[in-house]
Amino acid sequence: MELRDSYMLDDPGYVAYQQGRRLDVGDRGSWWNGWHDTVAAAVGRGVTVRRARVVSEPLHPYGLYEYDLTPGNLSAGEAVRWLPRRRAADLLLPGADFWVFDGETVLFHHFTGEGQLAEDGREHRADPALAKVLSEAFEAAWKRATPHAEYTPAL
């Protein structure tokens, strides 16, 4: 689950996006990377990979960048949905981005106020009870969120 409106604004890909570069889905070699390999391999083993993005509208320019990149996530086999923050106001969501693996392990991502991954920004916890609570929060957001193919960013 992604809960921030922007991340690492100095990322070279984002800087290039601001300068007009857009994803060319037909030129897979220009954007396919290790993350896509990892997702495709997991999906190939039968793992479901889902990402819910809770966003403010209108989207921050970084959100538009993520929106532009999402076809790459989809082609690797990831499912992506968008949930406007206004539609999530009554949901109980965690304070940090996270992944849940196999219903037992949680990976939190902690970012600075500027959107940089904190020095100790990756926190793994093997805690089935925590994974259950976070999975329930994710499911609540997922049910309300709009699939990428149906989501039109508010500008």
Read off the CATH number of the domain in which 64 is found: 3.30.870
Please report which confidence band the pLDDT of residue 154 belongs to, taking 50, 70 and 90 as the band edges.
Answer: confident
Structure tokens at 113: 């106020």
Within-domain flag for 51: yes
Whether the predicted pLDDT of 155 surpasses 90 = no
Q: What is the pLDDT of residues 1-11, one digit of tens each?
A: 999 999 999 99
CA separation for the pair 86, 33 (Å, rounded): 33
Q: Based on the structure, what is the number of domains in the chain?
A: 1
Regarding beta strands 105-111 and 97-101, do their DSSP bridges make them parallel or antiparallel, or are they unpaired?
antiparallel
Within-domain flag for 78: yes
Q: In whole numbers, what is the pLDDT of the chain averaged over residues?
A: 96
Within-domain flag for 2: no
What's the whole-number mean pLDDT along residues 76-80? 97
What's the pTM? 0.95
Within-domain flag for 155: no
CA separation for the pair 82, 153 (Å, rounded): 9
Within-domain flag for 100: yes
Within-domain flag for 66: yes
Within-domain flag for 52: yes
Residue 54's domain comprises 12-150
Q: What is the pLDDT of residues 23-67, one digit of tens each?
A: 998 999 999 999 999 999 999 999 999 999 999 999 999 999 999
